[in-house]
Amino acid sequence: MLLERLAARDTPGRVLVVDDAYGALAVSLAASSPTVALDSWTARAASTTNHERNACATPGFVDPLDLQAMPDRFDVAVLRMPRALGRLDELLGSISAAMSPGAAVYFGGMAKRMPGSMFVRLETVYGEIDVSRAWRKARVISASVTPSIHTEPRWPVWTAIELAGHDFEMAAHGGVFSGERLDPATRLLGGHVASLLERVGAGGRVMDLGCGTGVLGTVAGRLDPTADIVLVDDSVAAIRSAAATAEQSGVSAESVHAGRLDQVASASVDLVLCNPPFHDDRGQNDEIAWTMFHDARRVLRRGGLLAVVANRHLGHHARLRKVFGRADVVSNDPSFVVTVAERA
């Protein structure tokens, strides 16, 4: 539907594609040389592969939150509607600042994932919006950019939290996991960080894998200021949030925007802390956690530890036993399990 909307335009002008999952939009629009803004590292990797397979030059990817810094203005933007209202809100600010007056913006997505609150938000920003009829359960919403567009620059949101005896401010860009509150599973794992650091020894390399807002890595850095903290996430909005959380707390940390640990040397990490994702855009997905566990095992030194918190029903403790040979459950919360696996 999005591609049909673009095809119906007389001249495409300068095209912006935002948060295209696997490159389907960007590859189809390759003849217009679109600017492609993607948050997810995995989406960037998929888009690269699909550009190569379709003999198209791979575009340089842009962070969707950096669009206002682009030198040129766009005449048309196509976006996959984000799942979280906060993500939509922050994207609207970034995109609106990057569009020329009169430019067209098209949001596409599944009707069931577009609650009324998203329409209200779009109407607040654009005034008038056009909502298409649903076709195969999908809709396109069109709007045009007026010079008077006003968005609230309220991102990242800062929340005061306490974790493992440390008070600090948590930064969250729109749509980042658990955003403006501390996730109970994260709190549970946070309570084990001091004893895990003791087991691996002071001054180690500690990775917060799937760091989100970066609270686990930050608390590790507060508990052991001599540790080297590495923040890893597939989402660049998460990496920006985590880096801000750590910096605000006086924790110096390395940030890695990646969905795999290919760039991290084998046997170079002492402790990995992980609250893995349990779903992707299409529903529950165990594969990401499996990949994280295998990658963590490779980057851990002998005797290094992977500590995972997850919903009990996901059964990650059994998966960790398969990957590491042995894994110990160290919590007895009714909803969540903390499992610690040692690299033999």
Ligand X SMILES: C[S@@+](CC[C@H](N)C(=O)[O-])C[C@H]1O[C@@H](n2cnc3c(N)ncnc32)[C@H](O)[C@@H]1O
Residues that bind ligand X (CB under 6 A): 42, 177-178, 183, 186, 210-213, 215-216, 232-235, 238, 259, 275, 277, 288
Q: Which distant-in-sequence residues (6+ apart) come within 8 Å of 332 by Cβ? A: none
Between 56 and 314, name the residue whose CB sits nearer to ligand X. Answer: 314
Residue type, position 86, single letter: G
Residue type, position 316, single letter: H
Sign of CA dihedral 80, 83, 87, 92: positive
Q: Which distant-in-sequence residues (6+ apart) come within 8 Å of 35 by Cβ? A: 14, 15, 16, 17, 59, 62, 70, 74
Minimum CB distance to ligand X, residue 215 (Å): 6
Main-chain dihedrals φ then ψ at residue 265, nearest 5 degrees: -65, 145
- Matching residue, tokens 């198209």: 56
Minimum CB distance to ligand X, residue 183 (Å): 5
Distance from C-alpha of 134 to C-alpha of 262, rounded to nearest angstrom: 41
End-to-end CA distance of the chain: 52
Which residues, listed in sequence order, are joined to residue 131 by a DSSP beta bridge?
141
Minimum CB distance to ligand X, residue 191 (Å): 13
Between 149 and 314, name the residue whose CB sits nearer to ligand X. Answer: 314
Between 270 and 295, name the residue whose CB sits nearer to ligand X. Answer: 295
Between 2 and 242, name the residue whose CB sits nearer to ligand X. Answer: 242
Between 2 and 258, name the residue whose CB sits nearer to ligand X. Answer: 258
Distance from C-alpha of 114 to C-alpha of 334, rounded to nearest angstrom: 33
Minimum CB distance to ligand X, residue 254 (Å): 14
Minimum CB distance to ligand X, residue 177 (Å): 4
Between 103 and 172, name the residue whose CB sits nearer to ligand X. Answer: 172
Between 42 and 146, name the residue whose CB sits nearer to ligand X. Answer: 42
Minimum CB distance to ligand X, residue 184 (Å): 10
Minimum CB distance to ligand X, residue 61 (Å): 16
Chain center to CA of 272: 18
Between 14 and 319, name the residue whose CB sits nearer to ligand X. Answer: 319
Main-chain dihedrals φ then ψ at residue 73, nearest 5 degrees: -95, 150
Residue type, position 231, single letter: L
Between the CA of residue 173 and those of 148, 153, 238, 242, what are the distances in Å? 24, 11, 7, 9
Instruction: Tell me if the bond preceding 156 is cis, omega within 30° of 0.
Output: yes
Minimum CB distance to ligand X, residue 161 (Å): 11
